[in-house]
Amino acid sequence: MPNYWNEAMECMEPEKLKELQNQRLVDTVKRVYEHVPFYRKRMEEAGVKPEDIRGVEDLPKLPFTTKADLRDYYPFDTFAVPMDEIVRIQASSGTTGKQIIAGYTQNDLDSWDECVARGLTSIGVSRKDKVHVSYGYGLFTGGLGAHGGASRVGAAVVPASVGNTKRQMTLLRDLQATTLCCTPSYALHLADALQEVGLTKDDLNLKYGVFGAEPWTEAMRAEIENKLGLKAYDIYGLTEVLGPGVSMECAERNGMHIQADFFIAEIVDPDTFEPLPAGEEGELVFTTITKEGMPMIRYRTKDLTVLHTERCACGRTSPRMEKIRARTDDMLIIRGVNVFPSQIESVILRHAEVEPHYMIYVDRVDNSDTLEVHIEVNEDTFSDQVKKLEDLAKEISADIQSVLGIKAAVRLVEPRSIQRSEGKAVRVIDKRKLYK
């Protein structure tokens, strides 16, 4: 017996769903044209008027929106309502160390809760459950997003947030939470920590795991399930579009259901940006069709995946997206945090007049992501005093942490010890192999 939170919407006949999308898209385009100078300008440049958009078929006429746009129009110039209507701000990292933000109206937050509630319900979570949320609470959308959805379902929410693994284990054991929401790497970290203190999955009562905010593999899924004794489900989202819950796997685990009455998903060719049919791999693009605070028109996620539109065995008609297969840019996701190599580069440049050669190493050690930055010592940064060199490494490390919010080990290395590449400089070596 499948579980629906909102059967009317989740199982709506495709024709009716398309009608709803058409109507909501037309309304959204009108709204952004009238209220967001940024979108009006873009549409004028593209020679498109709101009345040219009569439905989903006309979507390709609209220009794309990118993260760079959100940075350029930071902080409020992509908002479509006056500040009185905004009740929440969340943030995510941008490409040059400058974060981008998202503003939500109360209706937006309600929609967000609805999306997450649908996802949780689809895997079996109900008001009888206890949901332990170990995503970070704060500007990052993970914590508050999962929290809102679990509260909406009526579950007892444990807002554990990140860190203090010992206390998290005690809470999981004592409160017997049935559902764990966190990044997949933190789930593995927790599993290993349990083992270390002599606890097993039998001491816990976990049934469901809702893991996202970073790419993970089927092998990781199997390992998490085996170690924590739960069923693990993938959740997807991004701050620019909403947060976690834009899509999530149902009990069938046959792709992540996109909440199609809130978002229109497209797949486009990453080189030509021409729309691609379902079943073909390309860049995922979202248009929000209910969002009030910060509507997104054809937002390029830079995530590569495949869409499937046939009805799922669970009965839902919403399109499903496969796990993210790769990124089209150099963004890394480290411990759930979006990291652009350029952010690290700008920190290094602040500490050296002559740009040093550097390399960023990302790895997963004991199920936790590690970030190490090797910097070649040059005449500009060298000192005959150990303390000065150690201070330099420490300062760079502290600055990286303040920009990214995650720790980085900085190591000074000899000149010419980092391999040079021919052509485009390779600045990152990611050893994690997270994508297929």
Partner 1 sequence: MTTKQLSVFVENKPGRLAEITKILEEINVDIRALSIADTTHFGILRLIVNNPEAAESALKDAGFTVSLTRVIAIEVQDEPGGLARALKHLTVAGITVEYMYAFITKKENSAYVIMRVEDNQKAIDVLEANHISVICGKDIYDM
Binding site for partner 1 (CB under 8 A): 377-379, 382-387, 389-390, 411-417
Instruction: Compare residues 45 and 384 and give the one whose CB is closer to partner 1.
Output: 384
Of 78, 45, 75, 84, the C-alpha closest to 291 is 78
Instruction: Compare residues 312 and 392 and give the one whose CB is closer to partner 1.
Output: 392
* Inter-residue contact 329 to 302 (CB < 8 Å): yes
* Inter-residue contact 344 to 330 (CB < 8 Å): no
In angstroms, the CA 190 to CA 181 distance is 12
Q: How far is the CB of 365 from partner 1 (least distance, A)?
A: 17
Instruction: Compare residues 64 and 361 and give the one whose CB is closer to partner 1.
Output: 361
Instruction: Compare residues 387 and 424 and give the one whose CB is closer to partner 1.
Output: 387
Cα atoms in the 13 Å half-sphere on the side-chain side of 221: 17
Q: How far is the CB of 431 from partner 1 (least distance, A)?
A: 19
Instruction: Compare residues 126 and 378 and give the one whose CB is closer to partner 1.
Output: 378
Q: How far is the CB of 413 from partner 1 (least distance, A)?
A: 6
In angstroms, the CA 41 to CA 36 distance is 9
Instruction: Compare residues 199 and 413 and give the one whose CB is closer to partner 1.
Output: 413
* Inter-residue contact 265 to 246 (CB < 8 Å): no
In angstroms, the CA 233 to CA 154 distance is 20
Instruction: Compare residues 316 and 357 and give the one whose CB is closer to partner 1.
Output: 357
Q: How far is the CB of 398 from partner 1 (least distance, A)?
A: 18
Amino acid identity, residue 221? Answer: R
Which phi and psi (to 5°) does residue 421 adopt? -110, 150
Of 9, 50, 69, the C-alpha closest to 263 is 9
Instruction: Compare residues 76 and 382 and give the one whose CB is closer to partner 1.
Output: 382
In angstroms, the CA 81 to CA 132 distance is 34
Q: How far is the CB of 352 from partner 1 (least distance, A)?
A: 12
Cα atoms in the 13 Å half-sphere on the side-chain side of 256: 28
Q: How far is the CB of 384 from partner 1 (least distance, A)?
A: 3
Q: Which residues of 81-115 are buried (b: 16+ CB within 10 A; e: fewer)?
A: beeebbeeebebbbbebebbbbbbbeebbebbbbb
Any bridge partners for residue 410, and if so which?
A: 373
Instruction: Compare residues 22 and 397 and give the one whose CB is closer to partner 1.
Output: 397
**How many other CB atoms sit within 10 Å of the CB of residue 277?**
9
Q: How far is the CB of 357 from partner 1 (least distance, A)?
A: 12
Instruction: Compare residues 324 and 377 and give the one whose CB is closer to partner 1.
Output: 377
Of 138, 134, 141, the C-alpha closest to 165 is 134
Q: How far is the CB of 409 from partner 1 (least distance, A)?
A: 10
Environment class of residue 138 by beta-carbon count within 10 Å: exposed (0-12), middle (13-18) or buried (19+)? middle
CA-to-CA dists, residue 169 to 68, 204, 229, 275, angstroms: 40, 9, 15, 47
Instruction: Compare residues 251 and 412 and give the one whose CB is closer to partner 1.
Output: 412
Q: How far is the CB of 424 from partner 1 (least distance, A)?
A: 24
In angstroms, the CA 110 to CA 126 distance is 18
Q: How far is the CB of 397 from partner 1 (least distance, A)?
A: 13
Q: How far is the CB of 393 from partner 1 (least distance, A)?
A: 9
